[in-house]
Chains A and B, each alone.
Chain A
Amino acid sequence: KAGVTQTPRYLIKTRGQQVTLSCSPISGHRSVSWYQQTPGQGLQFLFEYFSETQRNKGNFPGRFSGRQFSNSRSEMNVSTLELGDSALYLCASSQEPTEAFFGQGTRLTVV
């Protein structure tokens, strides 16, 4: 069974640009969550999608958005990038409430 796949693995963007990250969950998993890790910080929850609906959202500005498609693949978008958005973005998929299987992450650098 394939794991959680995130693309791209690395990305460099300029301030003011926007970026889209993709996450393909484990087959059969309908829940996808997104987390951000910045240097010195733990993983911070961004949002969670289930069956194309956002069920939960963390404390991030509106520049951070996401969506989920009918095949459970999810994308997150960050508009008007700031230097502070440089981070590792992880997604996790699950089938049951007490589980979360993570991808390897996308390392975003904003210059």
Chain B
Amino acid sequence: ILNVEQSPQSLHVQEGDSTNFTCSFPSSNFYALHWYRWETAKSPEALFVMTLNGDEKKKGRISATLNTKEGYSYLYIKGSQPEDSATYLCAFQGVDNFNKFYFGSGTKLNVKP
């Protein structure tokens, strides 16, 4: 069984705080790592696809890094806003089975005004 773990499970921050989450995945058989943002009653929205060790991606106040050798990725949100409140999911794709995404349980972020 392939394990993808996310921490923390939930996070409560004040508006303006910066925050980060962790996604751990197998360090072997790596093909890609995905980050999604999922608001209640909406579709999960793709944030980043990361494929190379050392990758750093940025979209506005959100950025992500990737370390495939040690099997982890960080997602950072700078200056959190209430509209950032959502569940953030990561998903691992392996080389031998890349049609299948393995998801973590997500980190639920709540940003208080």
Contact assessment for A42 and B104 in the assembled complex, using a CB-CB cutoff below 8 Å: yes
Contact assessment for B4 and A42 in the assembled complex, using a CB-CB cutoff below 8 Å: yes
Tell me which residues across on chain A come within 8 A of B36, comparing CB atoms: 102
A37 and chain B: residue at smallest CB distance: B103
A42-B89, A90-B44 given; A100·B101 CB < 8 A = yes
Per-residue CB contact flags for chain B residues 41-64 toward chain A (1 = under 8 Å, else 0) read 111101001010000000000000
| Chain A, interface residues (CB within 8 Å), range | 20 to 34
| Interface of chain B residues 12 through 45 with chain A (CB within 8 A) | 31-32, 34, 36, 41-44
Contact assessment for A45 and B102 in the assembled complex, using a CB-CB cutoff below 8 Å: yes
A98-B32, A98-B93 given; A56·B99 CB < 8 A = yes
Tell me which residues across on chain A come within 8 A of B104, comparing CB atoms: 42
Query: What's the nearest-Cβ distance from chain A to residue B51, in Å?
Result: 7
CA gap between A90 and B100 in the complex, in Å: 14
Tell me which residues across on chain B come within 8 A of A35, comparing CB atoms: 101, 103
Tell me which residues across on chain A come within 8 A of B102, comparing CB atoms: 45
Residue pairs across A and B with CB atoms within 8 Å: the count is 63
Contact assessment for A100 and B46 in the assembled complex, using a CB-CB cutoff below 8 Å: yes
| Interface of chain A residues 54 through 111 with chain B (CB within 8 A) | 55-56, 58, 90, 92, 97-105
Contact assessment for A41 and B105 in the assembled complex, using a CB-CB cutoff below 8 Å: yes
| Interface of chain A residues 1 through 36 with chain B (CB within 8 A) | 3-4, 31, 33, 35
Contact assessment for B43 and A99 in the assembled complex, using a CB-CB cutoff below 8 Å: no
Query: What's the nearest-Cβ distance from chain B to residue A98, in Å?
Result: 5
The contact sample of 17 A-B pairs, CB cut-off 8 A, is A4-B43, A33-B100, A35-B103, A42-B4, A42-B103, A42-B106, A43-B91, A44-B103, A45-B101, A55-B99, A56-B97, A56-B99, A97-B98, A98-B34, A98-B51, A99-B49, A105-B43
A-B pairs, top 3 by smallest CB distance, nearest first, are: A43-B103, A42-B105, A42-B103
A contact set with B: CB distance below 8 Å: 3-4, 31, 33, 35, 40-45, 48, 50, 55-56, 58, 90, 92, 97-105
